[in-house]
A and B are shown apart, each in its own frame.
Chain A
Amino acid sequence: MPGSLLWVIDIYGRVYTLSTAGQIWELCRDGRLEFKRVTATEPCCWGIASDHQVYVYVHSSEVPIRYQEETFENQRWNPVDGFCDRLLPSDRWQWSDITGLVHQPLDSFHLPSEHWEWEADWYVDENIDGDPTEKGGWTYAIDFPATYTKDKKWNSCVRRRRWIRYRRYKSRDTWAKVPSQNAGPLPDPFSDLSVGGWDITEEPMGRLSLWAVSLQGKVWYREGICHHNPEGSSWEEVSTPGEVVQISCGPSDLVWAVMWEGQLLVREGISRENPKGSSWVVVESPSSEVGAVHVSVGVSVVWAVTKDRKVWFRRGINSHNPCGTGWIGMVGEMVMLSVGVNDQVWGISCDDRAICFRQGVTSNELSGKTWRVITAARDDRSQASSANSLASAGCFFSGEVQVPTETSIMSDTGSSSEAEAQQDTDGETAKIRIPKVTSDSFISDLVSDKETKLNRRMLEGAIPEEGPPLEQESSKAAGETATNAACRTSRGPQWSNVDLEEAQVGSDATDSSSLSSVATYNFGLEDQYGVDEHPLWAWVCGGGCVVDAHMPLNWFNSTSALATSLQSMSLSITPAQTAVWRKQIFEQLSERTKREVDSFRHYEQAVEQSVWVKKGNMQWWRDWKPNKWIDVQFALEQFSGAEGNRDGILFIYYMFNDEKKYLHAFINEVTILVPVVSDTKHTFAIYTPERTKQRWPIRLAATTEQEMYDWLTLLSLSCNESQGIQGAPSKHAIWSTTCKGDIFVSEPIPSLEASPYPLPCDQMYWRQIGGHLHLVECGGPGIVWGIGYNHTAWVYSGGYGGGFFQGLSSSNVHPQTDVKNVYIYENQRWNPVTGYSSRGLPTDRFMWSDISGLQECTKTNTKPPSPLWIWVSDWSIDYNSPGGTDREGWQYATDFPATYHGHKTIKDFVRRRRWARKSKISTTGPWLEVPPITLWDITIQPCSSSRSPEEHVSVWGISNKGDVLCRLGVTQQTPEGTSWLHVGTDQPFKSISLGSCNQLWAVARDGSAFYRGSVSPHSPAGDCWYHIPSPARQKLLQVSVGRTSVYAVDENGNLWYRHGLTPSYPQGSSWEHISNNVRKVSVGPLDQVWIIADKVQGSHSLSCGTVCHRLGVQPMDPKGQSWDYGIGGGWDHISVRANSQEAPRISLPLASDKSMNPRGEAPAINGRVVGC
């Protein structure tokens, strides 16, 4: 499902969707039902169908919605029978929940609704806190309740085991009827509903607030909707000060409703703990004369429509003031509005019932600029059938009685009577012809409103010349009478479908003059505006539609699908890349070179290459103490080297004791250029092998950001050229990311993995690739995937450049965004007078600080990570801090700095809580998004031998929720693959790695390791998981599998090697400790081992994150000898899993000498720094 969806209903109740990536209104896949209302979020859409039932449409996904039911089997030991199910009378149930208080035998579990199915039968869980148990899964204790262990001891008197069974939600991609209430007050039929609230908590997508309005004007809240329970559990009534007609719930804490009388209600007190809110506040209608009829809210905006169809925007809305401060009248007349994600707004225009999109809505300009009509074509596969099936016909006009008033007002401004008379007759005849019409009150209002002229005509007969607008009260009363009357006349039970012909009779009989909207549907409509004309829309919902002001949309210029598809075949952009003409030009040009140049290379060049110098002024972080920025002259001299390739020298001219001096570096020695963007300075660092060893780069600052990027582009161009590198990274490239999300890639040479004399890793040349990623994994033949900080999955497009590289240094780059949290800490100290307060001791840290407490970080002075980032949310308390928090987000400790815990004890004198704010970066890079599943980890099988381009490459991922997924259809041509295959696990996972020989290892969130059996090219998903005990008292974090080696990193930074792996026993026997201070490990197809190490000696502020290479790894000694240090610090991730280039074999006499060590000092460094 590329793109997200805009949901709409036409006046016949047919539901259509429009994808942000598409340009056609597509009829909802499950088109059996007609709908009155829909309200959407990204994963699902809720609706009220014509049968007044609530339905939910959950999009299909490759990850199933599954729920783990568990129950415990308890046993007690007695001398006669041993362990048996005869418990003491005081004991818990034989089958119980985890607490023992609830009796739950296996057969007491039932599927919650018809939309669920069992995945398999009950089975015993043989896992306790990440450790495998004995067969049978029993855990032992002295007595109930107690701590259970897997070992049976002499005093183990009781035992229990956990049974689990999964149920799976099956009704996806279809309208699933939400089960009606079994207990409690049964709500009357709903007339409106609105879903939102997914941003209230940090829970993964799926927790929703669903608000509904019943026909009697009551408000209901659906409890318990979350990811594994998409239907929710029950309806709870929320009392209101008056009768409500319509409600709107935003993505976070805004909920507004419209009352019968035209005022608005604002829900206050909505929070993480209390998503229902606590109280209502009344806000007057925007206009003193006419009440509001419709409201729609976003994150920090409220839009409303009044009875006169005017559109209003509420000023001053924020989370502290959900009521806002005042109304602003907007241009345009709308029937209704919908605020979606990113506060984008859609509306249905009054005059032609078209869907309009508000253009130019940004966080700075929430009210946007103009309305633009969406002119997508309709996919009308099943149009004909539904045209005559307009069966739905309610007769409820709650809240719609304003129409008479409006009609009479409008008739004041009536147009020429001749035309009216003409239309009148048209209307009359049509009315006779068409038997039925959809008549949800709102829709019917729209219908009648659509032909206001016609209605007016009809009314003019009935209403004596523009009687004064009816009073609210009386019109309401009249409406109620009419409702009752209409219902009485209908033969069916109350609230059921009503055949409109009859309803009409009823209402006509009551009082046609005050019931224009209901009484005078004009059925000519269908002939006039129906199938062949553009569609008439009744309802739009943008809640599931992710767009922002800068996103290109194809919604506005399409006349027909064909025309647009041709148009989108844009020149010189990707689709053209495969064209024959293009290939032919490539071929001819290379033939031309052969013909005209290749045999004449010895000829003199007409134009001699000369030296080219670029100079500029910069600041340099001087090498000697006291270090400070000093002004320098910077120059790059480029010239042609002996072989014709370009080379250059960098010069930094500075003054030292009034003496002009300079520092220089050869371009061919530069190993990496690292941009360091900050608020204050536009700086970058230049490393050479020598400076990498010293952990002391040349740091330069340009005067402007642009100047810095110009220099970086130029310098990287010369460095690449001098290294003989151009174009895209090779299939063997080593990829890495920094803690800033920058992506660097290095071309390995065969001697990089040579033994015993490999290329020292500080001599590796790294170049930057555009984009922003948290981690990047390579493998297979040139297949590279990345995961952003917001867990979005990206696949490498085969290009290069992007980011600040412009024009020629980029190819096949695409827009990329990433979102990450910025954290600050609120610190408090307890004192006997005021309790915890922001008055600390004089020696205390800042009351608002960074994590260390050394930097003051207030809400106002904290800026996004760099100027490339913008804020996209407000500060909010983070309840997910490691270590846990209390209900207000606080973590307690005895003093600063200390370890914090999530509950208050008597000894806790200080507390802190973490605040988070989302920031967003928009950049470009050679990456394409792989929607829709967000990922935690990814692994691509390294390939040791060449394979054909069509051959499938195994790719596995872990979803953000911890599901294990196998990617199908990945080949060299389609590195993004086709779909995910879900592989069931009993617990969420966090790391996964697939070796060259299909050994699949994974780490669960509880820190235990798993091996997947029988994975092969023919059965890519394997068959079952084998639980591997983790090293004693350690929780594993990450695993990496090469050709035969398996390495893992635990939470305390230890690197472990798996011993005893054999083809017949691939799980191995034990973990062997290799090193500490390791953050990540990457094992390649040659069993080469690379890590990101912390606390490497010599680095200063950037001491964390240095790339290290294991030396001395040989087939007979896969653990290697020592570490070689490369670029750092600040590195976060490395992947060497694509480098399968074996070093040329050098036969050395005595090469296998044990004392052989490429660099004499390495063991010492190893001991001191990484320290075994």
Chain B
Amino acid sequence: MADDKDVLRDVWFGRIPTCFTLYQEEVTEREADPYYLLLPRVSYLTLVTDKVKKHFQKVMKPEDIGEMWFEYEGTPLKWHYPIGLLFDLHASHTALPWSITVHFKDFPEKDLLHCPSNSVIEAHFMSSIKEADALKHKGQVINEMQKKDHKQLWMGLQNDKFDQFWAINRKLMEYPAEEGGFRYIPFRIYQTVSERPFIQKLFRPITAEGQPHTLIDLLKEVSPFAVSQGGGEKKYQVVIHGIEPMLETPVQWLSEHLSYPDNFLHISVIPISTD
């Protein structure tokens, strides 16, 4: 029987086939071919698109090149969300490959953060990990780590080294056996329709009676509409990493196995299209 470690591997090695096309109004010297790439679900757009940038810059004049940003069907894609989350949230019903439009001008200041270098991504990634650990272990685990361990986490993500990353990350996934789980589950729930970017609350993995909380408990408490039944029909899909875990899945297990490298469970609640 397959074991839980395989889940970690599958999650890590999740890829989204993507077709990058240059925005048609960008000024080019000659026509740019679309660029095809397998994007790691767990990584960040700006971290893995150096090749895309190089590819399109070849056909452009240096003076026309501003900060690169991405858009899908009119929605600017936030680089500080993991790629898998962006896909699940905005494009889960699209045909593959995922078609992303590349822009080099008119940076949407109100929608996106600037990303001048990888160190910005690193800072964002590390602050997420620290926040998650603050929820899980009052920050004790991450604070006891050495600088080189922090670096190893980041390098693992940057270079797509599963073993390198998990050698350290497993320490962040430990918890005292007698407590049966983390202090709080680090999670975020995203909805396309909502005006809030995401919902995040304190939520314990274990009930006061010592029973495990499941995904449905979490949703009922945090985002009740997601599990509301309209006329017996399911109205929303609850998606993590492109799959719909059963609502009976314990959240502690989800947190240990389906968290993104930033140690958060990024849960997308997607309306089921009526057609």
Contact = CB atoms under 8 A, between A and B. Distances in A.
A735 to B, nearest CB: 20
A193 B150 CA distance: 62
Interface in A547-575: 552, 563, 566-567, 569-572
Contact of B209 (A563, A577, A610): A563
B244 A571 contact: no
B164 A612 contact: yes
Contacts of A429: none
Contacts of B248: 579-581
Interface stretch (A587-595, A653-661, A1044-1052): A587-595
A1079 to B, nearest CB: 36
B5 A566 contact: no
A9 to B, nearest CB: 31
Contact of B210 (A563, A590, A603, A727): A563
B36 A588 contact: no
B96 A588 contact: no
B249 A581 contact: yes
A563 B257 CA distance: 26
Interface string B155-197: 0001111011011001000000100110000000000000000
B244 A588 contact: yes
Contact of A593 (B10, B96, B252): B10
Contact of B253 (A571, A593, A599, A604): A571
Contacts of A596: 14-17, 96, 242
A1032 interface: no
B209 A571 contact: no
A592 B36 CA distance: 19
A724 to B, nearest CB: 15
B97 A607 contact: no
B2 to A, nearest CB: 5
B159 A571 contact: no
Contacts of B111: none
Nearest to A576: B253
Interface in A595-611: 595-597, 599-600, 603-607, 609-610
B180 to A, nearest CB: 6
Contact of A603 (B7, B17, B166): B17
Interface string B248-268: 111011001110000000000
A605 B232 CA distance: 43
B166 A585 contact: no
B243 A595 contact: no
Interface in A775-802: 798-799
17 contacts: A567-B180, A571-B253, A572-B4, A572-B253, A579-B248, A581-B246, A584-B245, A585-B245, A592-B14, A596-B96, A603-B38, A606-B39, A606-B51, A607-B43, A609-B159, A806-B170, A811-B5
B3 interface: yes
A712 to B, nearest CB: 14
A589 B243 contact: yes
A607 B118 CA distance: 14
Nearest to A798: B1
A319 B209 CA distance: 49
A586 interface: yes
B40 interface: yes
A807 interface: yes
A606 B157 CA distance: 12
B32 interface: no
Given A571-B212, A592-B242, A812 B3 contact: yes
Interface size class of B (residues with CB under 8 A): 35 or more
Contacts of A552: 177
A717 interface: yes
Nearest to A587: B243
A604 B49 CA distance: 12
Interface string B1-24: 111111110110011110000000
B48 A607 contact: yes
A589 B249 CA distance: 15
Nearest to A578: B1
A806 B173 CA distance: 13
B11 A589 contact: yes
A344 B210 CA distance: 29
A585 B249 contact: yes
Contact of B167 (A799, A807, A811): A807
A599 B257 CA distance: 26
Contacts of B5: 808, 811
B204 interface: no
A808 B37 CA distance: 29
A600 B244 contact: no
B211 interface: yes
Contacts of B158: 607
A592 B241 contact: yes
Contacts of A584: 245-246
A604 B36 contact: yes
Contacts of A612: 159, 161, 164
A796 B1 CA distance: 14
Contacts of A591: 243
A571 B17 contact: no
A590 B241 CA distance: 12
Contacts of A563: 209-210
A588 B170 CA distance: 24
Nearest to B97: A600
Contact of A572 (B14, B161, B257): B257
Interface string B66-84: 0000000000000000000
Contact of B3 (A567, A595, A610, A811): A811
Given A571-B205, A572-B4, A585-B7, A604 B252 contact: no
A595 B96 CA distance: 9
Given A589-B7, A596-B96, A596-B242, A571 B252 contact: yes
Given A590-B10, A607-B43, A607-B159, A572 B256 contact: yes
B87 to A, nearest CB: 9
Nearest to B35: A604
Nearest to A710: B167
B174 to A, nearest CB: 9
Contact of A808 (B163, B180, B249, B253): B163
B210 A609 contact: no
Given A596-B17, A597-B15, A606-B40, A808 B170 contact: yes
A607 B170 contact: no
A567 B181 CA distance: 12
Contacts of B15: 596-597, 600, 605
A595 B248 CA distance: 25
A595 B14 CA distance: 11
B10 to A, nearest CB: 4
A812 B159 CA distance: 29
B245 A581 contact: yes
A593 B244 CA distance: 14
Interface centre among A572, A593, A595 (most CB of B within 10 A): A572
Interface in A1082-1104: none
A580 B96 contact: no
A563 B11 CA distance: 34
Nearest to A604: B37
Given A606-B48, A607-B40, A798-B1, A586 B6 contact: yes
A600 B170 contact: no
Given A580-B248, A584-B245, A585-B249, A606 B166 contact: no
Interface string B221-256: 000000000000000000001111110111011001
Given A572-B256, A596-B14, A603 B211 contact: no
Given A581-B246, A592-B14, A603-B17, A610 B257 contact: no
B180 A571 contact: yes
Given A586-B7, A603-B17, A799-B3, A567 B210 contact: yes
